[in-house]
Amino acid sequence: MPFITTSDGVEIFYQDFGSGRPVLFSHGWPLSSEAWERELKLFADHGYRVIAHDRRGHGRSSRSRTGNDMDTYAADLAALVDALDLRDLSLVGHSTGGGEVVRYAARHGAGRVSKVVTVGAVPPYMIVTEENPDGTPLEALDGIRAGVLADRSQFYQDLTTPFFGADREGSTISQGQRDDFWRQGMLVGLQSAYDCVKAFSETDFTEDLRALDVPVLIAHGDDDQIVPIKAAAYRSIDIVRLGTLKVYPGAPHGIVGAYQEQLDKDILEFLAE
């Protein structure tokens, strides 16, 4: 299996298929590159080289007690992109991965990155403040940490309900999809899972968004119960210079079903522009 080794000795697993212009996918918490399996096949079938990695501590990458923060995640991504010498690169990031690709592109991507796509992403800043009244209360994030620490197996099972909108009328999420979320989540080291909550929720990406000088597609479901659209996409689109906002009515945080089908079409169209 392919790995790269970071400067602090962490092994980062990645998948790499196809040929053509490269597209790199970054997953959400607490998942892995396997969250993008449909896209890896679909985009490779459309003539792209597709790459997806497991964030440190997640999936098949090394578990690490250190470096579970957004600066290091972006540096790990830079190490992977440099090792593969990827250029004219499009980045696609979901949730936490959206923050990761924005920070990478802003700080490391000059001369390599040509387009950025965020999906249900955490930028610009997730926590509720006076300037961000639609954000998430810190107490809710503390609850996530407590759930992970106390009984992460049951917590991940319960989390699939708001993540996929299973509590909404007309939901078509399958038990298999919920089980796969749990399976991926259980591969994350406890330390990494716990620390990543702070990384995705308390990192301010405002200046990263301002620094982007490439086209950015900001995609978000308007029924996202994990990353509320008002605090995320609606604020991000006002910050980026070359942004396009795509809102999916009734779509949840998790990328599944008809939402996934339309999103994939929209991303392929954006990349082809």
Query: How do residues 59-83 score in pLDDT, each as one tens digit?
Result: 999 999 999 999 999 999 999 999 9
Average pLDDT, integer, range 138-147 = 98
Please write the tens of the pLDDT for every residue from 180-233. 999 999 999 999 999 999 999 999 999 999 999 999 999 999 999 999 999 999
Which strand (E) or helix (H) includes residue 219? strand 216-221
pLDDT of amino acid 234:
98
pLDDT of amino acid 154: 98
**Taking the CA of residue 68 as centre, how many other CA atoms within 13 Å lie in the half-sphere pointing to its CB?**
22
117, 90 in Cβ contact below 8 A? Answer: yes
pTM for this structure? 0.98
SS3 state at 214: coil
Percent of the chain with pLDDT strictly greater than 90: 99
Mean pLDDT throughout 130-134? 93
Residues 6+ apart with CB under 8 A from 53: 12, 13, 14, 15, 24, 26, 33, 61, 76, 77, 80
Cβ-Cβ contacts under 8 Å for 202 (sequence gap 6 or more): 126, 127, 141
Active-site annotation, residues: 95, 224, 253
Q: Would the pLDDT of 155 be above 90?
A: yes
How far is C-alpha 270 from the chain's CA centre?
A: 18
How many CB atoms lie under 10 A from the CB of residue 239? 18
The yes-or-no verdict on residue 29 having pLDDT over 70 is yes
Confidence check: pLDDT of 119 > 90: yes
Across the range 109-123, mean pLDDT stands at 98
1 falls in which pLDDT band (50, 70, 90)? low
Domains of the chain, residue spans:
3-272
**Which architecture characterizes domain 3-272 according to CATH?**
3-Layer(aba) Sandwich (3.40)
Which of 116, 73, 129, 63 has its CA nearest to residue 96? 73
